[in-house]
Amino acid sequence: MTVEEFEELEHHAPETVWLEFINGRVVVKPAPDGNHSEIVAWLQRVCVRHRPELWLHSERGLKTERYREGRARPDGVLVPVGSFKGHGEWSATEGALMAVEVTSYDADAGQRDRVEKPGGYAATGIPVYLLIDRDDHSVTVFTEPQDGRYRQQENRPFGATLKLPEPVDFALDTEPLKEFVD
């Protein structure tokens, strides 16, 4: 399937389904449950408190992977306010400081959020990838994108404080995440 064919398919998909195009295949992204949505909302508030000139957009369509052949909807993408003004449904990643994924409770979450998406985000040069892993009750920050992968990663359990490096540049207290896991 080509990117153009995917975009046509995605355009006609029902509103109850989100589609992504990762590593040349169509992926159905599950609708978020309430705790998933609350985690993203919590992180939006944290980001605006620390960096009011930025906004964490949820479910924004990004052109990812090498040569922008992928299409992903990260749970959050941190950019300067106004970065997507005038854009269509899918935006290039220039200006994106951080991509965020919150794991869902589905069979593909591990492969999608822990392997495939980091590679796509790294390939486009997004400097920071934050994975909030509800299965593992941990937060991982991936940094130093090079050659389609992140060279560094740091993992901490929910409750720890994790330093989000430049260009995000603030300490993330993950204690509140404990209330959003089953």
Read off the pLDDT of residues 7-22 as tens digits, 9 standing for 90 and up.
888 888 877 777 778 8
Using DSSP bridges, classify how beta strands 128-133 and 138-146 pair: parallel, antiparallel or unpaired: antiparallel
Q: Which amino acid is at 120?
A: G
Joined tokens for residue 6: 């995917």
Rounded to 5°, angle at Cα 156 from 154 and 159 = 150
For the chain, the domains span 33-61+72-180
Phi, psi of 153 (to 5 degrees): -150, 145
pLDDT per residue of the chain (182 residues) written in tens, 0 to 9: 888 888 888 888 877 777 778 878 887 777 778 899 999 999 999 999 999 999 999 989 999 877 668 898 899 999 999 999 999 889 999 999 999 999 887 667 667 777 778 888 999 999 999 999 998 999 999 999 999 899 999 999 999 999 999 999 999 999 999 999 86
Helices and strands of the chain, counted as H and E runs = 4, 13
Cα dihedral value 123, 124, 129, 134, nearest 10: -70
> With contact defined as beta carbons under 8 Å apart, do 91 and 59 qualify?
no
Provide CATH code, domain 33-61+72-180: 3.90.1570.10
